[in-house]
């Protein structure tokens, strides 16, 4: 299954690849060049298809957990000062998505969208410390019954040139549902309450709508 945001690109790529294969077959006389061009074109098509894949995932919704909003690797777990929405300190968990990861953004929690804003910006590499505040990005805040407000931020990387965000202020959203897409290499930040229990570690690989990122802090003697 492929994400709807990739349908146009997949269709255009398919026709370009088909044209390249046919033109190489009929008009390229060099025996070594003809198959080389055809194989290269097919590899490009395969790369585009794998990038826009959208695997179906059933989510066991849980108000006590914040799930990974995307596939990738945890590259930062740190206390930060948020100046956009909270105007205070939060725990930031950052997930880097390489071009081979699934790039679908999924809602990390169930709740009501309280804030959704797009910011134009630069295209620094996604793991750059300043990418969270200087790159093209969208910020979404969801109000939840257990964690209060949870913020996630889609951040474009050096290759990404388009962020798709479906969250609209006032709508109710469900944990694990499709929240958007970031095209070609990117990062996603979660800003969490200081009193939540972080369940992931640096360099850990996470799966969107599956891996628990944070949970309600266990009571003394429990958990």
In angstroms, the CA 136 to CA 183 distance is 12
Domain boundaries, the chain: 4-51, 65-215
Q: pLDDT tens across 65-115, in order? A: 999 999 999 999 999 999 999 999 999 999 998 878 888 999 999 999 999
pTM of the model: 0.83
Residue 184, pLDDT score: 65
Q: Considering only the top CATH level, what class is 65-215? A: mainly beta
Active-site choice (94, 110, 132, 186): 186
| 172 labelled catalytic | no
Dihedral angle computed from the Cα positions of residues 16, 17, 18 and 23, in that order, rounded to the nearest 10 degrees: 90
CB 184 within 8 Å of CB 113 = no
């Amino acid at each position: 299954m492929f994400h709807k945001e990739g349908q146009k690109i997949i269709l255009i790529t398919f026709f370009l690849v088909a044209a390249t294969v046919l033109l190489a077959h009929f008009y390229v006389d060099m025996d070594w060049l003809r198959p080389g061009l055809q194989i290269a074109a097919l590899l490009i098509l395969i790369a585009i298809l794998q990038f826009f894949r959208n695997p179906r995932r059933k989510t066991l919704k849980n108000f006590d957990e914040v799930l990974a909003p995307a596939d990738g690797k945890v590259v930062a777990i740190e206390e930060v000062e948020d100046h956009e929405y909270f105007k205070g300190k939060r725990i930031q968990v950052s997930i880097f998505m390489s071009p081979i990861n699934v790039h679908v953004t999924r809602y990390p929690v169930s709740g009501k969208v309280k804030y959704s804003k797009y910011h134009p910006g630069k295209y620094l590499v996604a793991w750059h410390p300043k990418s969270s505040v200087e790159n093209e990005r969208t910020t979404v805040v969801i109000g939840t019954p257990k964690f209060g407000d949870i913020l996630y931020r889609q951040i474009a990387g050096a290759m990404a040139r388009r962020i798709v965000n479906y969250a609209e202020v006032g709508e109710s959203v469900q944990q694990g549902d499709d929240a958007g897409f970031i095209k070609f290499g990117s990062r996603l930040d979660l800003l969490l309450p200081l009193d939540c229990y972080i369940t992931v570690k640096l360099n850990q690989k996470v799966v969107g709508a599956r891996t628990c990122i944070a949970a309600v802090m266990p009571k003394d003697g429990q958990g």
